[in-house]
Structures are given as structure tokens and as C-alpha cells.
Amino acid sequence: MNIKITLTAVCALSALTACSQKEAATPEAPAETVAPIAQKTATPAASREVLDTMRAQIAVIDMATDTSFLSDEEREVVNLLNQTANLMSEIYIRQVSEQNPAWRTVIAEAGSPDTELLLNLFDLHFGPWDTLGENQPFFGDAVRPVGAAFYPADMTQEEFEAWVAAHPEDEAAFKSGYTIIRRTDDGGLEAIPYSVHYREWLEPAAALLRQASQVTTNASLKNFLALRADSFLSDDYFDSEMAWMDLDGAIEVAIGPYEVYTDGLFGYKTAYEAFVTIKNPDESAALDKYKGMLRDMEANLPVPEAYKNFKRGFESPIAVVDQVHGGGDNVPGVQTVAFNLPNDERVREAKGAKKVLLNNVLGAKFDRILEPMAEKVLVADQASLLMRKYMVNEVLFHELSHSLGPGTITKDGTETTVNAELKELYSAMEEGKADVMGAYNILYMMQLDELPAAEKENFLATYFVGLFRAMRFGIGAAHGKGGAYQYSFLREQGAFSVDEETRKYVLNFDKLEQAISTLTAKVVVIQGDGDYNKAAAFLSGYGVLDDDANRIIGSMADIPVDIQPVYPDEI
């Protein structure tokens, strides 16, 4: 794939080289503490063969979504949102590392025969680290900081916590999802608001959202865009998140700082991203019934009543959409097939959360990845059970399950959240929980005849193969670690075995169904207790791959690990 393709809307980095000489930080915000870049001396950390293999892991897919039904007004709004999404990419690449723009210049000027491929991979992964390979460098030897660029690269958890203990007045700002931490000239630490540190991109992003707000005649979209523009400059997202829950119409857009996966140090800091999508009203309506069943799903969880959460709102709208543009954390590496937002527990308790399924992305992954994987994972008669509808349902119920179970909890007499207590372990625990609880709830729907019980084995086979799709992302990633702990626990429970002749898996459907229930309960209790040590022990024990899993994953070299959708900048 050539550079032109990589630098389209997929990566939204066409201006990166031009701004590579500028510092991302404002004058008030010292740059992250990192080793200096050796100009024009860095060399690839991987051979050409390895680089070609890395590139082949992610298949390029032309996502030319049909937007012919949009009005001229809607088309103008979408194009303004696309421009805003590109600015989210400019911020996010600096959230990964503030040296990323300079790294790209080094690659471009190093004179390597692999320059074009290296730039392609850089744009694919938003930096010189392989996001599918435990973030190992493929150019140079710089180690990607665990906390990305949210903290000084040499800062430890202990230093952070010692500072907060000594300066309790700083705790809220230091743990905020909307600040970065930097060293001061006198050797101390300070929290700098996103609105200050990323002002160079947030101000034009806010202006574009206000322009779109003035163009649209959709009242709910107008309100959300205007409020989100204000949020960019204030770091107060509550009102705009509440407005996003009320969004209605053909254009469904999520844009701003959301997920905390990039912060591997604590899981506190949010990453900027954008999903610009077009809603499919018929398919959204077909799934709408499930949002009215969330309270029943909560009540049906296989845990004591104290671990069930009826405080959250259960409004939970569901949207089935086609994505037309991406930005920021949504772009590099593994592609999101659905999301469940907002993450603010105050909004969730007031209104629930919205589930958005990216139908075109999900369909491409089933066709190019999941379906071909089945024959590598399962014996032939079980591989044939795979059904696309159950990949869709598992994704839907995964997102629904993010709204179930503990959220705001009380620990040692103090109100807190699961995220705050589990820190950097939260993302892996939560993604695995959403997977297995999603499976548990699909089985519950079959008990209620909302889904056909005759297709139970089709579903269980699809769910199991899906674990390998996640584990191929690497167990250093939240979804990969979540897949690994499900696999290991299910094996311990006797849910599957290895066929001696084919060396593929044979599912024991009865034991698999029981193990799904048992694991759901185990994870919910760990979360509800807010027990960091138990979560750490659980992930250490189960979040690993055995020889059989590694062997099966190794047999999939001819199947892409993920896809790279290419979207037009304008529709």
C-alpha cells in the first residue's frame, strides 16, 4: 500500500510532516520527559521481511459507504465533522508520544530503502511501535512509555501516588481524565488541562463544531455540537454527554476524549477520537427491543443482589450505523466494531449509555477474518456452525453488558468507581467481562425465546472463535487480555478439549454454557469489591496463552489480524 492511501482519512495525518518541527505542548506545558531523538541515525528495528509481515496483518478495505440519501445540508455537516475528526488524530498522535511528529520526520529523512513502507506502518500505528506486537518498536529503539504521553515517561506509579498523598489538594486534577501530568522547573509535578495543552487543535475543532451546529436544522444535533464545542475549551463534558444521549437523526457522531486504553500506567487519562457515522433506522429499530430488557438482564446476573446495579439509567438507545470517517484513537491498529458511551458514571446513572454498532466495519471483519478463522480453530463439524448474526449479537450484547454490573461502588465507606479502584487493570477486566457477560445474556435471551434456542450451538461456536480474534491483537491489549482470561478459564472448566487427530478444538457445549455463567459471576464480584489485588492475581493467572492457543494463532498467518478501512475525506 502506498503513502497516499495511508495518509487519507484513515489516518488523517496529511499535514503531519508540515507540523513535525513544532512542539505539541503550549508554552505553559513542558514536553514529556523522553530520550532525545537521534536525527537521521535511527534504523529499522525489524527486517524488511518482518515489516512486510506487519503490513500484511491488516487488510486495507475501501469503505465507500452509500450516502446518496443524505440531504445537501446533512452532507455539509458530515464534511465539517470529518475535518474535526482529523484534528482528533492530530491530538491523539501526540497523546501516544509528543515526539511522534519528529519521529516521522526522522523516518522520512533517514534514507532507508524501506522509507515508504516505514512511513506506511507509522501512519497505520500512529507511531514507530507495533500495536499488534506488544508495542515493540519497528523503527529505532525507543521504548513506548506505559503511560504514553499523559505522564513524564520516567514517572512511576509510586511517584504519582506519593505526590497525591503529599498534596491531597491535587488529587482530583491528577486523576482527572482531562489533564496531563508534567514536571515543573522546581522538580515537582503539575496537572495541565487538556484545553490548555491541546489548545492548538481544540480551538479550530470547536470552531468547526460551531459551524456545523449553525448549518444543521436538526435540533438535537445542533445542541450537542454547540455544547461539545464548549466542552473542548472547558474540559467539562457533562452537559454535552447528556445532550449526546438525546441525539436523533441520520447523523450519529461521537467526538472527543473517551477511552482510557492508551493510559497503561493508571487507566485515568482519556484519548481523543471521532466516529462520524450514518444511522440505519430499520436495523436500529430491529434491535431496539433489547434496550428495554437491560433491567431484566441486571436482575438475572448470577451474583448476590449486593453486586447488581440498579442505580444506572436503563434508557440505553441502540444505533446501527455505517461509519464514514474516523479520527484519533479510533484510527490506528485494531478497528472498533462498536462502542458503548459515555463512560461518565454520572451520565450513566442519569440516562444509561448508548450502544452504537458500526455495521460496515463489523461485516468486513466477519467476511475477512472471523469466518476464515473458524476452520483453523474448531473441528470441521463445529466450524461450520459459525453464523454472522451471532457475531453481530455478541458485539451488541458486549456493549449492552458494559452498562451492567458494578459502576459506582462503596469501598471502605467511601464512594468510588470500579475504574478508579482497578486502575490500569480495569480495561482488560472490563472488556473480558463485557464479552462473557454478553454471551451470558445471549443465552438468557434464548431462554426467553427472544433468540432461537435451536441456534445455541451456532452462537457458542461463534463466541469461542471470536476469542481468538481478540487474542490475536496481543495479550498486552485490553481486548486481547480479556480474550485470554476467558480462554484460560473456560479450558480450566473443561469447556473444550483438543482433538488428537486434527489438533483443533472440540467444544463441550454444556460445560461451555456453565463456564460462561461461572466466569460472569467471578468477574462481577472482583469488580464489585473494587479489589485491585484480586484483579491482578486473576489476570496474572488467567490472562495468558497456553501452547495450544499459540499454535492455533500461529496457523492463522494467511488471515488478516484486522482491517484498515479507507474513508473519503468528503462525501
Phi, psi of 339 (to 5 degrees): -145, 155
More confident residue, 20 or 66: 66
Largest distance between two CA atoms of the chain: 68
pLDDT reported for residue 177: 97
Where does residue 175 rank: exposed (0-12), middle (13-18), buried (19+ CB within 10 A)? middle
Q: What's the pLDDT band for 314 if we cut at 50, 70, 90?
A: low
Work out the average pLDDT over 128-133.
92
Quote the cell numbers at residue 398.
458486549
Quote the cell numbers at residue 163.
505526590
Q: What's the pLDDT band for 42 if we cut at 50, 70, 90?
A: low
Element (H, E) at 363: helix 359-365
Where does residue 54 rank: exposed (0-12), middle (13-18), buried (19+ CB within 10 A)? buried
pLDDT(2) > 80: no
Work out the average pLDDT over 84-112.
96
Where does residue 508 rank: exposed (0-12), middle (13-18), buried (19+ CB within 10 A)? middle
Other beta carbons within 10 angstroms of residue 209's beta carbon come to 27
**How confident is the model over 474-488, as pLDDT tens digits?**
898 889 999 999 999
pLDDT reported for residue 315: 67
Counting every residue, how long is the chain?
571
Instruction: Specify which residues 562 forms β-bridges with.
Output: 58
pLDDT reported for residue 539: 97
More confident residue, 427 or 283: 427
Asked if the peptide bond before residue 281 counts as cis, ω within 30 degrees of 0, the response is no
List, in sequence order, every beta strand (DSSP E) within 179-315: 179-183, 189-193, 251-257, 272-279
Please name the residue ranges forming H helices in 146-198: 157-166, 171-175, 194-197
**Contact in structure between 179 and 191 (CB atoms under 8 Å):** yes
**How confident is the model over 492-505, as pLDDT tens digits?**
999 999 999 999 99
Sign of the Cα pseudo-torsion (96, 98, 103, 105, in order): positive
Work out the average pLDDT over 563-568.
94
Q: What percent of the chain has pLDDT over 90?
A: 79
**Contact in structure between 496 and 512 (CB atoms under 8 Å):** yes
CA distance 15 to 564: 20
pLDDT(286) > 90: no
One-letter amino acid at 147 equals G
Work out the average pLDDT over 114-133.
95
pLDDT(132) > 60: yes
Question: Hey, which of 63-72, 134-143, 253-262 has the most confident mean pLDDT?
Answer: 253-262
pLDDT reported for residue 44: 67
Element (H, E) at 492: helix 478-492
Phi, psi of 506 (to 5 degrees): -120, 120
Q: Which of 424, 439, 465, 420 is nearest to 556 (CA)?
A: 465
**How confident is the model over 219-243, as pLDDT tens digits?**
999 999 999 999 999 999 999 999 9
Asked if the peptide bond before residue 342 counts as cis, ω within 30 degrees of 0, the response is yes
pLDDT reported for residue 403: 86
More confident residue, 473 or 58: 58
Work out the average pLDDT over 146-151.
97
The mean-pLDDT minimum among 328-332, 405-409, 520-524 falls in 405-409
Q: What percent of the chain has pLDDT over 70?
A: 92
CA distance 406 to 424: 17
CA distance 562 to 78: 26
More confident residue, 32 or 54: 54
